[in-house]
Chain A
């Protein structure tokens, strides 16, 4: 039978763990509990023992640590080879990855090698007994994600393979430290470089700490394709400035170049849970809603009274942003006086 272990690949960038990895540990803890299995963190890097230690705070039973100078920076070949070997040896039931650039580079490579099922950008994960084509499968991982332009929500299962894999975007799962962490158990695993690991070398790496932090913004003013132009997006900046919020956009707005990609809210962007989310000119496709529907209050402003966003908002304003937003700013300033 299966060992019911849940593994989380812990992503680190320059020795700093990615938030999404701890978010996945928190979710992984719940999945492991419902299968009565262990949660294990896989930490690969150099001088990253402290990251391995941190995983216990988020529910890990054990951390597998592969620490070597050659592994300081993420590179597909050695990282995937290490994961492939570990997975083939221990056959965990579930392996989770952040749907980051590195995670999306690594996970498919491993799924291919181990012939596992892999579902990208899940918006929810659950354990459930499933009857599929007349056969009973106990405790399968339900991998839930919007599909087909957001017209449907699909539940994907991988019933006939030992290892079930999924990637999840940052912010989708909530990170919460355990009240009673397990005792630290770090298992160091040696790494022996081979030729193929060195086929790719990193000559230069530049990274800027993102100044945008949508996840922690209490107020978000988001615009969609309906705003029509980058110029109209200025209205959102004015509003965000007036009420102390951050500006975000839907995928369509990002694709149209109205707003930068790190400000994208939705299934393939960031998931946010602000106190107030103002959606302007956003129709409300499910991929977008997946990233904002847990906001405490949602105001929708749209010229189209039939836009689906009105079905999930708390307050709806049918009107043109060019008139409504300046009115909002003026009234707000007046009230605060």
Chain B
């Protein structure tokens, strides 16, 4: 029996950025970006679910993000997670990887009792691959990054095949530990129809609060109680729920600052267009031969 905590993130779909997303001053209009479940985090969840299938236990997905990140927590429940936690607070906004790992590590301590923490190797919005190792350091547990395959778990140790530059390593690591997972390591299972039916109405605290704002007949305490009874409440951890120092959270706790953002201006002007004909390409090759490129 193993308890796994999976770190998941909702990310802007940077692969599908259209022109409109860029403001005139060259900054990104995040509200315009479609938000998706970071793929490698889905692979990490799949790893955790496979561990549960084989050895028994529990899978808990957690995300730190704005209220709309609740979407991916529901998706975790659709895939098979036993429980999901939203970690959300205005104080957490603007966090870089250091401040993020601080809050995540405090949330993990609060949940407690874990054997494994799984996470995607990196998220596509920054590609930094930093939050996993930074969280492991704060929890003082060993880490295995770039995991490709879980070979076995026995005698309190997990054996994993992981990628290294130019090859692979087989490592054995004492539990508890943090594992970051590569894209190709597993195929995330599809959402299960039964679970979609069961959890599509699951809501976080912020979502319930929003319902009460929109409908004066609803009261938060009553609503909360009702959702808890129906097993549809996604627990939400705010700064008050966690034992965090506010100077280490969000923008305050983030040492990296964006000093300047430039939209990309292409130099251009020097290029010569070559017609896609035999003559055109022939004279291009002549030029390259003259310039001793060939």
Contacts and interface: CB of A to CB of B under 8 A. Distances in A.
A108 interface: yes
Nearest to A299: B284
A115 B97 CA distance: 11
Contact of B98 (A112, A147, A331): A112
Given A207-B166, A208-B166, A80 B137 contact: yes
B111 to A, nearest CB: 19
B255 A318 contact: no
Nearest to A319: B276
What is the interface of chain A mostly: helix, strand, loop, or mixed? mixed
B264 A153 contact: yes
A331 B142 contact: no
Interface residues of B, number: 81
B98 A118 contact: yes
Interface residues of A, number: 89
Interface string A68-81: 00000000110010
B255 A150 contact: no
A80 B132 CA distance: 14
A192 interface: no
Nearest to A305: B273
A200 B144 contact: yes
Interface in B24-46: 26-28
A115 B255 contact: yes
A204 B170 contact: yes
Contacts of B171: 200-203
A200 B172 CA distance: 6
A118 B276 contact: no
Contacts of B271: 300, 310-316
Given A101-B163, A276-B288, A297-B288, A151 B263 contact: yes
B101 A120 contact: no
B169 A205 contact: yes
Interface stretch (A43-51, A86-94, A182-190, A322-330): A322-330
Contact of B164 (A111, A113, A205): A205
18 contacts: A13-B166, A104-B130, A108-B137, A109-B134, A121-B127, A154-B258, A154-B260, A199-B142, A201-B172, A203-B169, A206-B167, A206-B168, A276-B288, A315-B273, A327-B276, A331-B285, A332-B285, A335-B282
The 9 A-B residue pairs whose C-beta atoms are closest, nearest first, are: A319-B276, A207-B167, A117-B255, A149-B14, A311-B266, A112-B134, A108-B130, A311-B268, A112-B137
Interface of B: 12, 14-15, 17, 21-22, 26-28, 96-98, 101, 125-138, 140, 142-146, 159, 163-174, 177, 255-264, 266-268, 270-278, 280-282, 284-289, 291, 293-294
Interface of A: 13, 18, 76-77, 80, 100-102, 104-113, 115-121, 130, 132, 142-143, 146-161, 196, 199-210, 219, 243, 252, 262, 268, 275-276, 286, 296-297, 299-300, 308, 310-320, 323-324, 327-328, 331-332, 335
